[in-house]
Structure formats: structure tokens, C-alpha cells
Structure 1
């Protein structure tokens, strides 16, 4: 295969993966016009259209879907061959793309950035943090970091932070106006933050006491996909919320927030980093996993 064909196929695969010429250009460090030219040249050479383009979206045609399906194993083999060249290098190299929750970014990734980049000067680190659930394979990430219950079952998962306690809190002025819930059933009469996942469903607050475990679909006038907004509204006395205790301790100790339903908030969830089971680990990924994993007890 001619070299320009291979490069154009790689550009095509990136556009298909992102569903966007602009995002593919950013990933490949090319201009948008160069990406568009590569795809157009490939389409002209093949004599078929690979994408249906509108001002709002980019979608694969049937021919494009067929080409991508046949192409992915071959490109994977090329990438693996290039990655194996790192075995001949003195240190790992490449780009490591991580998607994490905001909690994980603060707790796990932030403290490691200086040490990781200093130890591996040939690695570029890209971190995207948000509280929505992301398919890391579909979005082209090497690694995800989420609370244990949100890790897909088909992934290899490695603990990076001990089990956390989530707690229900509110501002003193909120409870002065609305009363203090004594049982999870009482949450039905309170203005609670509702956390919405990207697919549209709401997170149910997970409470437990002894052998009794509840998933409470709380009511509330505020729905968010960002825990920072939830915390801000809680501090302002607008709502009550359910967040990791470590993030709330400074506000609790200062009297700005008060814990409630404490006997329904056990220690129950750990942060895990995860990556595809079937994919060979890149040197950059292996280096990060080795650095971030919790030591064996």
C-alpha cells in the first residue's frame, strides 16, 4: 500500500471515531482543511462517499461503515507494531489519553502529573475530566478513572484510591427552614440535587444501613451533570446533596455544611482506573498504571 493511502486511511478512521473533522484534526495535529482534503482524496480514489456531511453532523455511509470495520484490525496492527518499537527505547513515549471523573482528576491525576511527566519526558499526557459516563474505547481514550460501580464489566480495573464514603449534607439555614431528614423516606419532602447522566437517566442516591440497601430516586428542582455546581448550590442553602465526604470536610469543619442520615452512609466505593481487556498496553499506559496503582496491603 502506498504511504499516502495509509495516512489517508488513518485520517478517515479518526474522523469516523470522533464523528467530527475538527476533533480529528485536533487529535492528529493537522489543520481542518488538511483532514478534509485527505478524506476527499480517499473518496475520489475509491469512487464512493464515506461520510454524509451536514452543517450539524458527520455520519458514515454504508460504504464508510464497511471500510471502517475492515480497516480497524489492520490499523490496530500498525499501531501495535509502532508501539513495540518502544521496547528498543530507553524510556516510554507516545500520548496517553485519560478520561476521568472530576473527583478522580483532583484525587488521583493531579498529584501524579509532575512526577509522571518528569519521569517520562517523551510522553504527552491528555486529560479530559467530567462527571458524565464515557465509552473510553469509542472516544479514543487509553484509560478511564471512575468510582468502582461505574466501571464497565469488560474492562481490566485497578484500584487507585481506597473506598470512599458518600454523605448527605446541607447548609444549616436549609435545615432550619425545612427540617432534618431522619430516614431516607424523608428525602421525598426535600429539595435534593439530581445528577443526570449524559444518556438522560438520573443517578439514584445509594444509601445503606446494615443489610438494607436503598437506591433513592430523589426529588429536586435542580438537575446537574457537574458536582461543583451541586456543591455551590448546597453551600448557598438551596438544596441538599450527596457527595464524597473528603470534598466536604473543609465545609463541614467550618460549619458551612451539616451531615444528615449518617447511619445510612457507609464506606462503600473505591476509585478504579480501567482499560480494555483485549488491547495490548502501550508503554505510556503501563507506566501510568504502575505509578498510580494502590500498593498491595
Structure 2
């Protein structure tokens, strides 16, 4: 049979008064220590004894002593109460300065775009914070997974989250390697993709994402085919560099490969814009200093183009 170990309401009432009287063996000194009246201390002790069902003190006109029950209660209650005070101090400290374990859920695609250049500088700037980054393409439940926050592209952030912009918006760019483009004609229109090997992304819900484009004032989706399906953008980018086919990836992820000539940007007039990368977390009355420190550091060192709480355009719960 399962036992109920929940502490009864008010079970700790009077314990601090008892410990003070037991240390001083004096009601007046205990009252002075706790900044209350002697009568308030006496009432607290009487209430505690009634709740426990045993006398804790032997009182005379000249002295105060502990009963056997009081001695045993004192021996067990003092270290437990001291632990509660210590726990309160630790919690208070974490609410006042950047410290403790900061757990973030981050998709692999965001690592090279945003975090890799900043992790070392953040850890050096805040030595009291332990930073744990769990790289996963899954849209995890932050509370169930024990995460302080997550980072996702804006279109994958649920509408009920507090979203903080970390990067400006950026385009999703189609890229291909020179070797691949030597074999096939460069696509000039969206329809031209039918004759190309296109590397595709599988979403966390199991579906394969179509490629999205901007055609005038509307967004169109293209159903493409190709030899590779991956669960993250870096794998698609690597496949494109190796000449397996074309890939549609966030422009910041492909920027270095385009600059050094390993990839060529294609169909740029039709590139659709992603809202950018956002840090997100459940609504709370207060953001802990460790999380606030991370947000401020990424903005400051990463040069993000926005600040404050924002809702990413087109955000939704499913990727």
C-alpha cells in the first residue's frame, strides 16, 4: 500500500521557535533572536506540543529544559531545519545571480549558425553556469525533458511559448556544387527542379518537407525527389557539397561554402524567408539569471538584429 509522505499543512509551524528556545534554554532570548514577543514564542511552543502530542520542555520559574521527547525532536529537527535554510539560500542565490545548470534543446542546424562561436566565450564569461546543450531535431517538451529553454527556427516555435529573437530573418537558399551543376543544367525556374536530384528534410512528425518558394506575393510548395533524406540541415548541406544533388538550407548555414566556391546559390529570386532563430521557453513570472545571461550574451556577441520578447511570424507547434 502506497504511503502518503506529504508534510501536513502547518507541520513546520513553531519549529524555528522551538529550536531557538532549545538552543538558548530561555524563552526571552529566543524571542529577542526572532524579533517577537515572549508570549508569541510561548504560544508557538504550546501549539507545536499540542500538534505533536508530547511535551517538549520542562519549565520552572528559573530554568527551561528539554524532555526526552524534546531532546529527540531537537536532535532530528535541528539538522533538517538547517538543511531547509541552506536550500533556501541556494535557491535565492540562483534567483539573484547567473549560476547553476542551464539545459538547452538545440537542433543541429543551429549549432554552426549561432552557438559554436559563442559557447566558449559564454562559459568563460559565466564560470558559475554549467551549460548543457542537447542537440536534437525533435520538438521536445521543455518541462518534461528538464530544459530551461530551447532554440528553434521561428516557424517551428509553438505559439504558446515566449520567443526571443536571436538572429535576423534569413532566406532558405537552394544550393548545388559545381561538380553537380556540370552534369545538369542550372535551374532557372521552380519548375526546372523536376529534372534534378533534390535532397530532402524529414520533419519531426515523420513527413518529408516540401521545398518552399516565394512566387510574387504568395508562397508555393514544390514536391521534389532525390537520393537522400536526412533529419537535419547539416547532413543535407554535406550531401550537396559532395555532389549528391541540390539542397534547400538556411542561408547562414551555407554562407561559408558559397563564399569559398564549394556551393553555388540557385533560384535566389524565389528564395522564401525564414523568420530566423529564436530562443523559446514557457511563460514564467521571472526569467532566472542564468537564462537571462545566456540571452544577453548571444545577442551581444552574436550581433542579433532584434531584442525583447517577440513572436516569430508563422510559428507553430509542428515542424
TM-score normalised by structure 1 residue count: 0.65
Structure 2 unaligned regions, length at least 5: 7-86, 308-319
- From 172, 186, 202, the equivalent of 1:180 is 186
Match of 2:176 among 170, 178, 181: 170
Q: Which residue of 2 aligns with 1:102?
A: 108
Q: What SS does the corresponding residue of 2:167 show, helix, strand or coil?
A: strand
- Summarize the alignment of residues 99-138 of structure 1 with structure 2, pairs less than 5 Å apart: 99-138=105-144
Aligned partner of residue 85 in structure 1, secondary structure: helix
Query: Are 2:93 and 1:86 aligned?
Result: yes
Query: Could you tell me whether the CA contact under 8 Å between 1:95 and 1:125 is conserved in 2?
Result: yes
Post-superposition CA distance 1:122-156 (Å, at most 9, x none): 21110012334333233221111111111111100
Query: 1:4-19 alignment to 2 at 5 Å?
Result: none
1:224 aligns with 2:230: yes
Bigger-Rg structure (1/2) = 2
CA distance in 2, matches of 1:197, 1:268: 16
Secondary structure (helix, strand or coil) at the match of 2:208 reads coil
Contact persistence 1:208–1:265 (CA under 8 A):
yes
Q: Which residue number in structure 2 is paired with residue 193 of structure 1? A: 199
Is residue 208 of structure 2 the alignment partner of residue 202 of structure 1? yes
User: Alpha-carbon deviations, 1:271-292, whole Å to 9, x = none?
Assistant: 1111011474323112212322
Residues 182 and 261 in structure 1, CA contact (< 8 A), matched pair in contact too: yes
| TM norm structure 2 | 0.61
1:249 aligns with 2:217: no
RMSD over equivalenced CA pairs, Å: 2.7
Q: 1:197 to 1:296 in 2, by over 3 A?
A: closer
Q: 1:278 to 1:191 in 2, by over 3 A?
A: same
Partner of 1:291: 297
Alignment deviations for residues 22-65 of structure 1 (CA, whole Å, 9 cap, x no partner): xxxxxxxxxxxxxxxxxxxxxxxxxxxxxxxxxxxxxxxxxxxx
SS in 2 for 1:274: strand
> Gaps spanning 5+ residues in structure 1: where?
7-79
**Closer, same or farther: CA 139–81 of 1 in aligned 2, 3 Å:** same
Q: Deviations over 1:179-203 (max 9, x none)?
A: 2222222223321111112321122
CA distance in 2, matches of 1:255, 1:290: 34
1:234 aligned onto 2:240: yes
Deviations 1:221-273 (A, max 9, x none): 21101323212221221111011223323332333222221100144431111
| Number of matched pairs | 219
Q: Following the alignment from structure 2 to structure 1, what is the Cα–Cα distance between the partners of residues 271 and 132? A: 34
CA distance in 1, matches of 2:287, 2:251: 34
Shift of 1:295: 6.2
* Distance of 1:201 and 1:98 partners within structure 2: 25
Candidates 214, 221, 224, aligned match of 2:220: 214
**Higher helix proportion:** 1
Q: 1:282 to 1:248 in 2, by over 3 A?
A: same
Mapped partners of 1:142, 1:110: distance in 2: 19
